[in-house]
Structure 1
Amino acid sequence: MGKKTISVVGVPMDLGQSRRGVDMGPSAIRYAGVIERLEKLGYEVKDIGDIEIEHGKMIKDEKNGIRNLKSVVDANRKLARTVEEIMKEGSFPLVLGGDHSIAIGTIAGVSKFYNNLGVIWYDAHGDLNTSETSPSGNIHGMPLAVSLGLGEPELVNIAGYAPKLKYENIVIIGARSLDEGEKELIKEKGIKVYTMHEVDRLGMSTIIEETIHYLKERTDGIHLSFDLDALDPIYAPGVGTPVVGGVSFRETHLALEMLAEENLITSAEFVEVNPILDERNKTGSLAVDLIGSLFGERIL
């Protein structure tokens, strides 16, 4: 990363899904000491606070089945503007969630600064649903699709342009819960995905080496979208949508350490920390440990 300035912004939102609690994620990560950890590593850190979220009644659209569409659109518009300002200042945007629907705003704010933004989507889920394929109507299962230009126009056109990403510039790591519509899209568009089968078979070191090689030659910036539910619930119990059989603590640290060594990540978000479901802020503290690895922290 170099020793550039890091700008931290929280998005205390749980409107992209139906399980309450992830709106407290940014507070949990801050409480676990993320600012102090980054400063200890030698970075200048600007904590610019939280995006203001309007918490109204949970609404499901009768026409398309999507939950809280207007509120999620409004929040992501604010986030996109904030991230754009961070980028203009030459600072590194580090976004703390909040549910994964906030990736819509983060990517909207970042992508306009690159011709070919790459994305590493470290997640148990593909987040490639639209209203036609989503079994739940939860927008936190749609942000990658939205960033590719698929879905509701109000979401797709946040920040005034679409699409934000190209199919060939995405790598999903840790997937183990994919809906049928997502599987079809992955196969149709040839999206590069490392499921837990590949993690077990190839090992994380090989996967990150391949990911770096794949994205390095075709992108001019790489955004890391990190969902804590990528890890097995043994390590990260306090997440919005836990799925057993996930990536381990050490595999994940290795992945982030290798990415830090290559100095390729240009923006990042860490999402889906849910303190209500957590054990003494275990997941919030884990998020801080992982952020430390991403920004160059080492055992020795």
Structure 2
Amino acid sequence: MAGLAALSALAGGGAQVVPNAATPAPQLPKDDNVEKIEPLKIPKDVEAKLAALDKPRLDFLKSGVAARYVDKEAMFDRFRTAPAAEIVAYVDALRQVYEAAEFKAGRDRASIALDTRSPMFNAWKLKRPAALDPARAAGPLDLRRYLGGYGGGFSTFANAPVAFTPADLKAGKVEVAIVGAPLDMGSGWRNAIDGPRAMRMTGGAGGNDMYSMINPNGALKIVDYGDIAIDQNSTERSVDHVREMVREIAATGAIPIVIGGDHSLEYPNLAGAADVHGKGTIGVVHFDSHYDAARNRVHQLDHGQPVYRVISEGHVKGSNYIQVGLRARGPDLETFGWMRNKGMRYHTMVEVEKWGWERVMQRALAEARQNAKKLWVSFDIDVLDPAFMPGTGTPVPGGLTMREAQPIMRRLCAENDIAGIDIVEVAPYLDTSYKTALNSNYLLNACLAGIAMRKKGLKPGYFNPVSVEHGRDNYYGNRKS
């Protein structure tokens, strides 16, 4: 314990109690100040109804603050028919809402401080020193007990060997390191914490890919890199460590594949990758039913805000960010405007309905090959219809099918230099079957197969001719006689 206390004291940097500022708030650019309030333009016919308001009430109404809390057009309609006393009471109620809703120093607590005097301040993420264990040669360890079959030994991602340190990754010349990140606080504790565990315990990842007839386990050097430590009381502290671990993997030359956990992980994932490959050099294809670029929430990092953070902090250029599958109730027109101003490209299910999945997929694939040096694929499983992914915290009907999702994941990984991948929002306890974890693993295997196809130099859109057809005739007319 004394050793841990000494290490914690060094990491804590003193004994004073300080606010939790591990992750600084994003600096809002001047053209995107969510605190900016536009003055309210009051129609002339409504102005005549406001004679009963004194100057403080009228100034408050004209300031535009009220538009935060009520629909202004509905308010105007009400004013047109309401008596003077009702209008005064309405404006007074809005002023009370404003006073109660806004932060007020001395009344409201912005955060609960961390106690840096604790000798266990950093123990949650303290890595086990190698000297505590018997000496061994660096490199991956295969935990399977038997040579054949699926039984025995320990469950790992894609039935892969395990690695514990960067030295293991380097010694094994590892190409893909799959790591769990059981962070769930960013989604309000909806069970994404168990996503990594469920995917390890369920089949589907690892083994032959019929489309290409490639077995990623044989074609690639893949490892399970364990789970990243999470401070289950602090999203801020957790994402800092996730960033460190993604950076640790990427710095060895291996591709990090992060299994979540909720989608707030996209922020540290991309920040960690950018630390290695350079800010603004990575492109992103983000599959999701939600836009995840909220800009005005009290908590500055949750599963609805990672897109805003990675772009506003410069880890990824907006022009290199592509979204696929949007269909939830957001974004509003203002946020669509922000996305367009940042150069983002998005493909909603409205676009799919109008033009068809094949055309939209080809467009997204072409965009992914533009501009950026490397590509990160961020896959929120709620982009799929709940019929295929019921075990997720915020399902939205009308999504992609597995037959649509698998080919584009395979092709993205086959046609691009992959910086990393995350598969997030897997919440197995919300699924009465095991299809969520199973289908998530099949998506993971499609990614691995795509990476293996690129390594082998196969052309985009490649299908193995043996699996395409039986070859006993020229039924499709595409074979030379």
TM-score for the superposition, normalised by structure 1 = 0.83
Name the structure 1 match of 2:407: 254
Encode CA deviations 1:11-68: one digit per residue, 9 max, x unaligned: 1111002242110011111112466447535322221211111223xxxxxxxxxxxx
Aligned to 1:121: 286
What SS does structure 2 have at the residue aligned with 1:139? Answer: coil
Which has the larger displacement, 238-247 or 26-35? 26-35
Q: Secondary structure at the match of 2:347?
A: strand
Task: Report the CA distance between 1:253 and its aligned residue.
Answer: 1.3
Which residue identity does 1:77 align to in structure 2? D
| Percent of residue pairs identical | 30
Residue 179, structure 1, aligned to residue 331, structure 2: yes
Does structure 1 residue 31 correspond to structure 2 residue 201?
yes
Q: Which residue pairs with 1:285 in the alignment?
A: 438
The answer to whether the 8 Å contact 1:35/1:47 transfers is: no
What amino acid maps onto 1:12 in structure 2?
P
Separation in structure 2 between the aligned mates of residue 249 and residue 9 of structure 1, nearest angstrom: 23
Q: Is the 8 A contact 1:208 1:258 kept in 2?
A: no
1:49 aligns with 2:226: yes
| C-alpha contact (below 8 Å) 1:126/1:182 kept by paired residues | no
Match of 1:40? 217
- Select the residue among 102, 125, 137 that pairs with 2:265: 102
- Structure showing greater radius of gyration is 2
| Alignment partner of 1:219 is 2:389 | no
1:236 maps to which of 389, 412, 415: 389
Q: How far is the alpha carbon of 1:135 from its aligned partner?
A: 9.2
Instruction: Give the unaligned 5+ runs of structure 2.
Output: 1-172, 208-214, 451-462, 468-481
Q: Using the alignment, how far apart are the partners of 2:203 and 2:321 within structure 1?
A: 31
Cα distance in 2 for partners of 1:84, 1:225 equals 16
Helix, strand or coil at the partner of 2:219? coil
Equivalent residues of 1:35, 1:45 under 8 A apart: no
The answer to whether the 8 Å contact 2:205/2:444 transfers is no
Q: For 1:128, what is the secondary structure of its paired residue?
A: coil
State the Cα distance separating 1:169 from its structure 2 match: 0.4
The change in CA–CA distance for 1:39 and 1:250 in structure 2 (over 3 A counts) is closer
The correspondence for 1:273, drawn from 426, 436, 451, is 426
| Partner SS state of residue 423, structure 2 | strand
The farther-off stretch of 199-208 and 273-282 is 199-208
Q: Distance in 2 between matches of 1:280 and 1:31?
A: 14
1:63 corresponds in structure 2 to none
**Which residue of 2 is the match for residue 60 of structure 1?**
none
Please state whether the residue corresponding to 1:108 is helix, strand or coil: helix
**Correspondence list, 1:68-217, <5 A:** 71-112=234-275, 113-114=277-278, 115-130=280-295, 132=296, 134=297, 139-149=302-312, 162-177=313-328, 178-180=330-332, 182-217=335-370
Gaps of 5+ in 1: 57-70, 150-161
Q: Which residue of 2 aligns with 1:20?
A: 190
Does the CA contact (< 8 Å) of 1:99 and 1:140 recur in 2? yes
Structure having greater relative contact order (Cα 8 Å, sep ≥ 6): 1
Assess if the C-alpha contact under 8 Å between 1:205 and 1:255 holds in 2: no
Q: Which amino acid aligns with 2:342?
A: K
- 1:52 is paired with a residue whose SS is coil
Contact 2:205/2:442 (CA < 8 Å) preserved in 1? no
Q: Deviations over 1:165-221 (max 9, x none)?
A: 111001100000123253342243342110001122333332232223223231100
2:374, 2:416 within 8 Å by CA — same for their partners in 1? no
Aligned to 2:26: none
Higher strand share: 1
What SS class does the counterpart of residue 183 from structure 1 fall into?
helix
CA contact (8 A) 1:233 1:243 kept: yes
What letter matches 1:124 in structure 2?
S
CA distance in 1 between partners of 2:298 and 2:251 (Å): 38
User: Which is further off, 44-53 or 179-188?
Assistant: 179-188
Partner of 1:154: none
**Amino acid of the structure 1 residue aligned with 2:314:** P
Structure 1 stretch displaced more, 111-120 or 98-107: 111-120
CA contact (8 A) 2:410 2:446 kept: yes
SS, match of residue 366 in structure 2: helix
Q: Distance in 2 between matches of 1:45 and 1:107?
A: 21
Cα distance in 2, alignment partners of residues 7 and 261 from structure 1: 17
What is the RMSD computed on CA atoms of the aligned residues? Answer: 2.3
Question: Residues 193, 218 of structure 1: CA spacing in aligned structure 2 closer, same or farther, 3 A cutoff?
Answer: same
